[in-house]
A and B are shown apart, each in its own frame.
Chain A
């Protein structure tokens, strides 16, 4: 029944089409109902004085402060008015710079470990130990080493991005179906072809999973780094507003980080979709 109505499409009677519309509307409601309810309860709690407005400002206040943060027109965010783009840009830049070196190095090291048992014996124990040191524990040392500024932030973010990228790349190589490897060898594939046309495509989904995890960690670490090591970025904004007791700005900054993190994740997913399709086409054409 369900399948019939969906596949039959447009030439259906108005009654059926109405059912169709209603179903789609109900899906929209399902998506929207929880976040709207949260906002509503939050607003009400604030209106009835359940929580003090300056301790936990209502969504309406946060929204107006956020608007001023971005546009700088109403002065609702006072000293922070109109600073949003600078901070957002600073954070995003650090995230992507750290992500780039951490993931690039991670993929490389992870692949080499996956391909060579010797390299695994040399590198893997060190990586496994270092991996268990929380990246936040590197903060003091990186401040001593790099000083205050972008460098320690980009270092910490890259370090955090390195481990999931490396471990998932190794895993991607290791979970290769040995039959595929043997089949390619039997057909006459040389070492380079085995790597580029069997091992890498087989490992790619896992590598990209690593990149996605790395992006998540990068946004965590950019906030840590900006609270401790730099004087710009959304993490800095958040911490500074906290010191000035501007919890409305704090919440607006938190939500901004959530939003940018979400968009970055979508970007990685988009790249994954493109790469996996490209991979398919690439092999179709062959290499000449």
Chain B
């Protein structure tokens, strides 16, 4: 469960008089329980691609299939973690985690209290269960947001620059936290980032995207052993991958800035 297939997907947005092609003939297959990261300079359409999988947008051309079915809209089988943490400011941490399970759509799915308790324990938020989101640090907020998504037990996690707003130390801790969760639950993960280190460190495969129009220019298999360790970042195989990805992303960024300068 959690197989995603993106087949010849084109997405155009009408902005005033002009039409912007955010994605142009994109193909990508994500296997069950695989972590695929989408990396690229800003404006390359990586968030658009994620929104298409989430069901917030529909493709102009082509198809997005999840487990062989075309997507009707957003749904609890695909949990989305947003960059701007989606916690209800009027609910405590525990209530936020319970929110998804209290909806009619998920009624009877699991024992709510038990799941909430487990999620809080797992994310280390038990002592802060009665706190409001505004009273938490950035890292704790994002952990609470991840807990609230995991509580509805989606087969796929879609993450849109989930750690982009965090400082680098917290970010690396959160990356390891995400990998721990993944080792336990083995969900399919599609994660968007502009941080090349993050893209490689987390991924089974990383798709490098280019802008104007948004395309996947290369899908790179990251065959570093799992579980990943922080020290791997300073070892030769990681550095080689990073150099490779950086070269593509940089070349693209320079090309597109020259292009926009020419326009």
Question: A: which residues have CB within 8 A of B?
Answer: 177, 179-180, 182-190, 193, 197-198, 201-202, 204, 276, 279-280, 283-284, 286-287
Contacts and interface: CB of A to CB of B under 8 A. Distances in A.
Nearest to A188: B105
A280 B90 contact: yes
21 contacts: A179-B84, A180-B86, A182-B82, A182-B86, A184-B99, A184-B103, A187-B100, A187-B152, A188-B105, A188-B106, A189-B105, A190-B105, A279-B90, A280-B91, A283-B88, A283-B90, A283-B91, A284-B95, A286-B102, A286-B112, A287-B102
A186 B74 contact: yes
B37 to A, nearest CB: 20
Contact of B95 (A180, A202, A283, A287): A283
Interface string B87-102: 0101110110011101
Contact of A182 (B74, B76, B152): B74
A188 B98 contact: no
Contacts of A287: 102
For the residues of A in contact with B, the DSSP-based class is helix
**Interface residues of B toward A: which range?**
20 to 34
B108 to A, nearest CB: 11
Contacts of B245: none
Nearest to B88: A180
A280 B130 CA distance: 11
A197 B90 CA distance: 10
B80 interface: yes
Given A186-B55, A187-B79, 4 more contacts: A179-B82, A179-B84, A179-B86, A280-B91
Contact of A188 (B56, B88, B91, B103): B103
B75 A188 contact: yes
Interface string B202-216: 000000000000000
Contact of A201 (B90, B92, B94, B103): B90
